[in-house]
Structure 1
Amino acid sequence: MHLVREDALVCSALEFLPTELLPLLFMDAFHGRHIKTLKAMVQAWPFVCLPLGGLIDLPHVGPLQAILEVLDVLLAQKVRSKWMEQRKASIHLCCKKLTIFAMPVENVMKILNMVQLDCIQEVQFLKLYHLQDLYLDSPSFLEGCLDQMLRFLRTLLDHLAITNCWLTESDLTHLSQCLNIHELKGLDLSGVTMTDFSPEILCILLEQVAATLKELNLEQCGITESQLESILPVLSLCSQLRTFSLCGNVLSMAIMEKLLSHITGLINLSDEFYPAPQESYSPHGILQLGRLAELRDKLIEIMQDLGFPRAICLSSSPCPRWSNKTFYPEEPFLYQCYMSA
Structure 2
Amino acid sequence: MWPILPQKVYFQYSFWRRLFRMDIQSPPKLLELASQSLLRDEALAIAALEELPAELFPPLFSAAFAGMRSQALKAMVQAWPFPCLPLGALMKEHKPHLETFKAAIDGLDVLLAQEVRPRRWKLQVLDLRLNAHQDFWTVWSGTRAGVCSLLEPEVAQPVRKRCQVEGARAWPKQTWAPVEVLIDLYLKEGTPDASLSYLLKKVEQRRGSLLLCCQKLRVFTMSMQNIRKILKLVQLDSVQGLEVNCTWKLATLGTFAPYLGQMVNLHRLLLSHIHMTPHAAPDEEKYCVSQLSAQFPSLQHLQELYLDSISFLEGRLDQVLRCLKNPLEALSITNCVISEADLMHLSQCPSVSQLKYLDLSGVNLTSISSEPLRVLIEKASATLQDLNLDECGIVDSQFSALLPALSHCSQLIAFSFCGNSISMAVLESLLRHTAGLSKLNHVLYPAPLESYEDMRGTPNLGLLAHLHARLKQVLQELGRPSVVWFSANPCPHCGDGAIYNPEPILCPCYMAT
TM-score normalised by length of structure 2: 0.44
Give the corresponding residue for 2:444.
273
Q: Which moved more, 1:130-139 or 1:149-158?
A: 149-158
**Which of the numbers 361, 368, 380 marks the counterpart of 1:190?**
361
Given candidates 411, 421, 426, the residue that maps to 1:255 is: 426
Identify which of 227, 236, 254 aligns with 2:407. 236
CA contact (8 A) 1:244 1:272 kept: yes
Q: Does 1:102 align with 2:262?
A: yes
Answering whether residue 197 of structure 2 is matched by residue 78 of structure 1, we say yes
Partner of 1:312: 484
**How far apart in 1 are the matches of 2:268 and 2:488?**
40
**Distance change >3 Å, CA 133–CA 337, structure 1 → 2:** farther
> Which residue does the alignment assign to 2:461?
289
**Matched position secondary structure for 2:306:** strand
1:92-145 C-alpha deviation (Å, 9 max, x unpaired): 576634534131659988xx89x9754493232331111001111111121111
**1:260–1:303: 8 Å Cα contact kept in structure 2?**
yes
1:165 matched to 2:336? The reply is: yes
Bigger Rg over Cα = 2
Are 2:223 and 1:91 equivalent residues in the alignment? yes
Which amino acid letter does the alignment assign opposite residue 78 of structure 1?
S
**Equivalent residue number for residue 435 of structure 2:** 264
Work out whether 1:213 is the aligned partner of 2:384: yes
Residues 225 and 255, structure 1, Cα contact 8 Å, conserved in 2? yes
Aligned-pair distance for 1:177? Answer: 0.7
Read off the aligned partner of 1:91 and give its amino acid letter.
S
Matched-pair contact (CA < 8 Å) for 1:215–1:244: yes
Structure 1 residue 303 displacement after superposition: 1.8
Counterpart mapping for 1:314-329 below 5 A: 314-316=486-488, 325=499, 327-328=501-502
User: Which one of 409, 413, 416 corresponds to residue 245 of structure 1?
Assistant: 416
Q: CA deviation at 1:309?
A: 1.3
CA contact (8 A) 2:332 2:360 kept: yes
SS at match of 2:392: coil
Instruction: Give, in whole Å, the separation in 2 of the partners of 1:250 and 1:175.
Output: 24
Percentage identity across paired residues of the two chains: 42
Aligned residues: 251
Read off the aligned partner of 2:262 and give its amino acid letter.
Answer: A
Is the 1:271–1:312 Cα contact (8 Å) retained in structure 2? no
Aligned to 2:61: none
Alpha-carbon spacing, 1:337–1:164, altered in 2? closer, same or farther (3 Å): farther
Per-residue CA deviations over 1:241-280 (Å, capped at 9, x if unaligned) read: 0000110101111111111111111111010011111111
C-alpha deviation, 1:173, in angstroms: 0.8
Deviations 1:286-335 (A, max 9, x none): 111122112112222222222221222101257xxx9665544xxxxxx7
2: CA distance, partners of 1:108 / 1:295: 41
Q: Any conservation in 2 of the 1:225–1:251 contact (CA below 8 Å)?
A: yes
> 2: distance between equivalents of 1:154 and 1:106?
13
**Contact 1:314–1:337 under 8 Å retained in 2:** no
Contact 2:414 2:442 (C-alpha < 8 Å) held by counterparts: yes
Higher relative contact order (CA 8 A, sep 6+): 1
Structure 1: gaps of 5 or more residues:
1-64, 67-73, 80-87, 329-334
Return the alpha-carbon distance in structure 1 between the equivalents of residues 427 and 471 of structure 2.
9
Alpha-carbon spacing, 1:182–1:291, altered in 2? closer, same or farther (3 Å): same
Find the aligned partners of 1:157 and 1:269 in 2 and give their Cα distance: 22
CA distance in 2 between partners of 1:227 and 1:137 (Å): 24
In structure 1, how many angstroms separate the alpha carbons of the residues matched to 2:268 and 2:331?
21
Asked whether the 8 Å contact 2:266–2:301 carries over to 1, the reply is no
What are the within-5 Å matches in structure 2 for residues 43-192 of structure 1? 78=197, 91-92=223-224, 96=251, 97-98=254-255, 99=257, 100-103=260-263, 118-119=276-277, 121=285, 122=289, 123-124=292-293, 125-126=295-296, 127-192=298-363
Q: Which residue of 2 aligns with 1:302?
A: 474
Give the direction of change, closer, same or farther, for the CA distance of 1:248–1:95 in structure 2 (3 Å limit): closer
SS in 2 for 1:147: helix
Structure 2: tracts of 5 or more residues without a match: 1-165, 168-189, 199-219, 226-248, 278-283, 491-495
RMSD of the TM alignment (CA)?
Answer: 3.2
Structure 1 residues 107 and 215: alpha-carbon distance in aligned structure 2, compared to 1, 3 A threshold = closer
